[in-house]
Structure 1
Amino acid sequence: MLFSLRSRGRIAVVSVLTAALATVVPGVAQAAAPPANDDFDSSVAITSLPFTVHEDTGAATKAPDDPIWCQGYAAAGTVWFQYTATQDGLLRATTAGSDHRTLLAVNTGLRGRLQGVADACDYGTDSVVTFRATAGTTYFFQVSGIEAPGGALSFTLDTIAPAVNDGFADAEPATALPFTRRPDLSVASTETGEPESSCVDDEGAPSVWYSYRTSDAARSVTARIEGTDAAVTVYTGNSLPELTQVACAGSNSFRPAMFPASPGIGYAIRVTGAHHSYGPFQFSLEETPPLAPDVSVYPSSPTVFDNVSFSASSWNSIDLPLGGTWDFGDGTTAPVGAETVHHRYAADGVYPVTLHATSPDGRTATVTEPVTVTTHDVGISKFTVPSSARQGDSKPISVDVTNTRYTETVTVVLSKRSTAYWSEVGRLTLQVPARATGKVRFPFSYTFSPDDALSGKVAFRAEVQLQYPSTDARPGDNEAISLATTVKPPATRIVAV
């Protein structure tokens, strides 16, 4: 009996030791326990703010009913926090300082029926959400790892002050131009009675306000948004119900918002988030650069036979479309439009073409460009060749050239075509004075060759060329081709015996 009791005692002691050793023997893998707040039902209750916690979430798990509205399919493991707001105001939660990518979402409601808080979703290396809390409402913070269950997590929750210029009455004045700000719309709200804007799709999106007034002189002002999806709207009026839209533009607009600022008039400027996108962006207010339009004329050296094209443009897109008036310098005018304007001059001369341009916001500029109209025009009035010839005959060929405008240095090139191509057979250069009537004759002499006789006929071509840099305004009459000349073999001489 004694032996039996001792045996049973020894067995009990061994069992205890074995269990103890199992927890300390090196090389034996132990599964890490999930964090205490791994499940929604065991979320950490936050009782006071500010609140910060550091915990290891490497063993966090994902429950089948974890919300998926905030990129939930990418969540690998989740821990939970909850806070019941004691007052209305803004709350900001962040995972800044964590060693892994996180997904951060805020929910309200009961398990299985949780609802996401609008815009309270972020994911990345340092997730941040800012939202407007209502006193008495309990908010559940879902913090998940992305691609990995978790790691060293840092979670912070605190109140945050709203934007100082959140309301119309608290608009920040732009006292000097240029004026630049980077507003944080995540701490802004929508004020009751805010006016509509033709550049804003969601009038419920938060906004901040700025004001501008010029007292010394009228000027054109440009309001611009650069960066994320947002919009800027300019109004006149002294209260929300009185506001009237003057101009607006979105960050994706082709052009910014421009408006003429008159002395003594106040302008209210609202910067609004679009589609609940509160990423970083820049708002700027600056004086619009002076209007500096460009004038294009084609052709650059026109003649009286050309329909001259005039177009106005600007390097700055905010200047377009240009309006105003064209003055062609010959007593005629035309309105400036989006399309090219055409004009034909009746006589040669130098014409001061003036563009009186106006931008959409009322800026004006005047540009004058001289346009020189010069018309060179010579032509072949007569081309005389022999109707027939024999091999070895030398016969005259003449080209008569007319000219009514300027004294010209003219070259006539004479070519023949007896087979498949033209070949030059003569060239003559003469001065051709300008005459209302009359002509200048270019005389040539051509000796018909055995090849001409073999072909049986030969055609001639005369071409008129002006001395560079002059060009003929109507080249259609600068070339003439003759009827073919019949060419016979040389005459056979009969010798008397």
Structure 2
Amino acid sequence: MVTVLTAALATVVPGIAQAAAPPADDDFDNAAVVTALPFTAQEDTGAATKAADDPGWCSGYAAAGTVWFRYTATQDGLLRATTAGSDHRTLLSANTGTRGGLQPVADACDYGTGPAVTFRATAGTTYSFLVAGIDAPGGALSFALDTVAPAPNDTSANAEPVTALPFARHPDLSVAAAETGEPESSCVDDEGQPSVWYSYTASGAAQPLTARVEGTDATVTVYAGHSGADLAQVACARNNSARPALFRSSPGTVYAIRVTGAHHSYGTFTFSLAETPPLNPDVEVWPSSPTVFDNVGFSASSWEQIDLPLGGTWDFGDGTSAPVGTETVYHRYTADGVYSATLHATSPDGRTATVTQSVTVTTHDVGISKFTVPSSARQGESKSITVDVTNTRYAETVTVVLSKRSTSGTEIGRLTLQVPARATGKVRFPFAYTFTPDDAAAGKVAFQAEVQLAYPSTDAFPGDNEAISIATTVKPPATRIVAV
């Protein structure tokens, strides 16, 4: 049925310009009555006014002129109202009740260019539709009302069965509505939003499952049970959350899964249910070649957000352990050896994984135990300098570099010897040095000894690899007295 609504004729006074009259359905009490569906109407709302008691619950926009349409549902089902085709931005809402006591219909509010509302109507209930201009009173308005076929799985009683995993669907929430008595979800802010339903019956062994929505602002909630009052929430997740809904199925249990829209974001999106991938954490151990002097860092992570935060235990392979945390765990080994460090990881939904990493602890450590230089000498005189090196771990090829302490750090000798590993004892590196005129001119000279290991060995405790001597007093050469 197509209706063209006209404004009431104003009284014409010759010679005086007349203001446009408001449309006939300008006030709630004069709402245009819809007697049959489908219904469409076109009218000019440019002169529409706003009553003081017009409801303002629908949005934060300033509603300008309003017009009204009224329909009494003849049967239960989905109704859709829209102002698509209007030449201006509009606000559209559905209400029940009488003037002064109007109540909003859940989720029946939309605004912008061509807004539409879809809701579940009850036979015998009268619905009043407010249409308002946004910021400006109006213009050429198109209003349409009709029934729409609901999504086949619009109610929990008609949930679509999940017959095999992985499972994916692209539900259309624009032909869905909230049903009376839907169970609450801790992830849904407005239970009046439209929803569709799926059901899954777990078979075989218990398995971790992932339910998610991607592509729109929607929510997925998993319940244990068939429908109605026996549903108990198991897990839920929002589309804008990094983690989907994770749960572990129990054989024979029926799970009801509700996909709920939000904020009129009913475009194309995907709902999926699949077995959760096995837990496969990454393990990092550093440094790569630790010594007994190092605090070895152990960290566990995963690229999959659904795996985090990881829990479990670190077994360091030396009889000690520590809980897994979000921060790096540190451990010091007391002896060289090859250790099997094992991560026993657990994900938030109960999946487990074991990862073993070999840690080889090797400590090379030599040191200067004694550095002997002469207390005094004369220019031109050659004297002994010795460096004693200790080593208690591995046989090493050791080079001692002897330098004269000065601004240039002049090297005066280098000696390489094999130094066996001994619980006690030392190896002496002998040097000889002839004191120079520069030494005599300065009056003293100090020496530096440095221990170096042959590549690729690296000393784990370099603090005792250098020694600086007390300065040797250097005098001019002795004067020979010749007898006459």
Structure 2 length as normaliser, TM-score? 0.82
1:476 match: 463
> What SS is found at the alignment partner of 1:98?
coil
2:289 match: 301
2:46 is equivalent to residue 46 of structure 1? no
The residue identity in structure 1 corresponding to 2:459 is: D
2:198 match: 210
| Most deviating of 396-405 and 357-366 | 357-366
1:90 to 78, 93, 100: 78
> What SS is found at the alignment partner of 2:212?
strand
8 A contact 1:185–1:273 mirrored in 2: no
Q: CA deviation at 1:163?
A: 4.1
The residue identity in structure 2 corresponding to 1:70 is: C
The residue identity in structure 1 corresponding to 2:116 is: V
Question: How do 1:432-443 residues align onto structure 2 when only pairs under 5 Å count?
Answer: 432-443=419-430
> Hey, what's the Cα distance between the residues in 2 that align with 1:256 and 1:371?
36
> Hey, what's the Cα distance between the residues in 2 that align with 1:312 and 1:103?
53
1:145 match: 133
Deviations 1:341-388 (A, max 9, x none): 444444433333333333333333332322222221111111111112
Q: CA deviation at 1:490?
A: 3.8
> Hey, what's the Cα distance between the residues in 1 that align with 2:185 and 2:301?
30
1:188 match: 177
Cα–Cα, structure 1 residues 110 and 261, in superposed 2: closer, same or farther, change >3 Å?
Answer: closer
2:92 match: 104
Cα–Cα, structure 1 residues 431 and 96, in superposed 2: closer, same or farther, change >3 Å?
Answer: farther
> Hey, what's the Cα distance between the residues in 1 that align with 2:189 and 2:61?
29
Question: How do 1:175-324 residues align onto structure 2 when only pairs under 5 Å count?
Answer: 175-181=163-169, 182=171, 184=173, 187-192=176-181, 195-200=183-188, 207-226=195-214, 230-238=218-226, 240-272=228-260, 279-280=266-267, 282-324=270-312
Q: Which has the larger radius of gyration?
A: 1
2:472 to 470, 485, 491: 485
Q: CA deviation at 1:289?
A: 0.9
1:6 match: none
Cα–Cα, structure 1 residues 365 and 237, in superposed 2: closer, same or farther, change >3 Å?
Answer: same
> Hey, what's the Cα distance between the residues in 1 that align with 2:231 and 2:68?
46
Deviations 1:20-68 (A, max 9, x none): xx99xxxxx99876655455555432211111223444x3444353544
| Most deviating of 359-368 and 312-321 | 359-368
The residue identity in structure 2 corresponding to 1:187 is: A
> How many residues end up aligned between the 2 structures?
468
Gaps of 5+ in 2: 1-13
Cα–Cα, structure 1 residues 234 and 40, in superposed 2: closer, same or farther, change >3 Å?
Answer: closer
The residue identity in structure 2 corresponding to 1:124 is: G
> Hey, what's the Cα distance between the residues in 1 that align with 2:61 and 2:294?
69
Structure 1 length as normaliser, TM-score? 0.81
Q: CA deviation at 1:205?
A: 5.8
| Most deviating of 135-144 and 379-388 | 135-144
8 A contact 2:106–2:192 mirrored in 1: no
1:14 match: none
Q: CA deviation at 1:470?
A: 1.7
> Hey, what's the Cα distance between the residues in 1 that align with 2:66 and 2:402?
95
8 A contact 1:104–1:122 mirrored in 2: yes
Q: CA RMSD in A?
A: 3.5
> What SS is found at the alignment partner of 1:452?
helix
Q: CA deviation at 1:137?
A: 4.3
Deviations 1:268-311 (A, max 9, x none): 2233457x766455432111112111111122111233332322
Judging by fraction of residues, say which structure has more helix. 1
1:456 match: 443
The residue identity in structure 2 corresponding to 1:310 is: F
2:6 match: none
- Identical columns (%): 76
2:416 to 429, 453, 467: 429
2:354 to 355, 361, 366: 366
2:414 is equivalent to residue 411 of structure 1? no
Cα–Cα, structure 1 residues 81 and 205, in superposed 2: closer, same or farther, change >3 Å?
Answer: closer
Cα–Cα, structure 1 residues 73 and 447, in superposed 2: closer, same or farther, change >3 Å?
Answer: same
| Most deviating of 432-441 and 474-483 | 432-441
8 A contact 2:227–2:256 mirrored in 1: no
> Hey, what's the Cα distance between the residues in 1 that align with 2:99 and 2:133?
20
